């Protein structure tokens, strides 16, 4: 996985590569899907959610550019695998998951492997005001636009990575805030489950 899917597609950050080598991805999958843990594709974790393909997790992490000790907000804990990668990199990580059962599962797995992540259940589109501002924000679901609540909770010189587009396809977007000015750069096309919430897609 690391050699072909990550290094082979241009992931260069040695800390990220080490994280992928160190964290057992199969732990974050249901028993009947563990055989697919290292495949080059997203995998269902139940409840209408997926664990993203390894490359997209690595690429989003590299775009985010996390340094040890940074305060990071993740929106969409899901399986907990992306959270594990960020925690391994030394982030002071807060993660929001709207589905309580997934939050509980992820929390149990992360504790089992000795990684510290503050996981809460709630509407990720509103961020986590009481813990803001954040150095970095990572959104792991497809949004119709960049929620203003998240921009407001980003520190100056901060970065956010978020998939933006339709419910079915998005562009991975890097948002930067510098001296109060917010800019965005589109990167790779991607497909994520819809980002549901008050400042995102409404639940159907």
**Listed residue (204, 196, 182) closest to 76, CA to CA:** 196
Q: Which of 52, 79, 95, 125 is catalytic?
A: 52
**Listed residue (85, 104, 102) closest to 19, CA to CA:** 85
Catalytic site includes residue 52? yes
**Cβ(129)–Cβ(153) below 8 Å:** yes
Residue/partner pairs of 38-44 with CB below 8 Å, 24 or more apart: 38/1, 40/1, 40/4, 40/5, 42/191
**Listed residue (166, 167, 135, 162) closest to 148, CA to CA:** 162
Q: What letter would DSSP give residue 37? A: T
- Alpha carbons 109 and 181: distance in angstroms, whole number: 39
- Alpha carbons 131 and 182: distance in angstroms, whole number: 21
**Listed residue (106, 108, 56) closest to 76, CA to CA:** 106
Active site residues: 52
């Amino acid at each position: 996985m690391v050699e072909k899917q990550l290094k082979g597609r241009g992931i260069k950050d040695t800390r990220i590569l080490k994280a992928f080598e160190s964290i057992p991805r199969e732990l974050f999958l249901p028993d009947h899907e563990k055989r697919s843990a290292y495949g080059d594709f997203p995998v269902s974790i139940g409840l209408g959610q997926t664990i993203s393909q390894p490359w997209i997790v690595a690429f989003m992490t590299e775009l985010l550019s996390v340094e040890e000790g940074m305060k990071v907000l993740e929106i969409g804990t899901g399986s907990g695998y992306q959270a594990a990668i960020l925690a391994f990199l030394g982030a002071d990580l807060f993660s929001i998951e709207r589905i309580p059962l997934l939050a509980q599962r992820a929390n149990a797995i992360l504790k089992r492997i000795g990684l510290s992540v503050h996981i809460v259940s709630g509407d990720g589109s509103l961020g986590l005001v009481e813990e803001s501002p954040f150095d970095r924000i990572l959104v792991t679901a497809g949004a119709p636009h960049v929620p203003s609540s998240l921009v407001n909770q980003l520190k100056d010189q901060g970065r956010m990575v978020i998939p933006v587009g339709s419910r079915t396809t998005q562009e991975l977007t890097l948002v930067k805030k510098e001296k109060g000015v917010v800019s965005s750069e589109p990167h790779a096309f991607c497909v994520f489950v819809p980002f549901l919430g008050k400042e995102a897609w409404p639940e159907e």
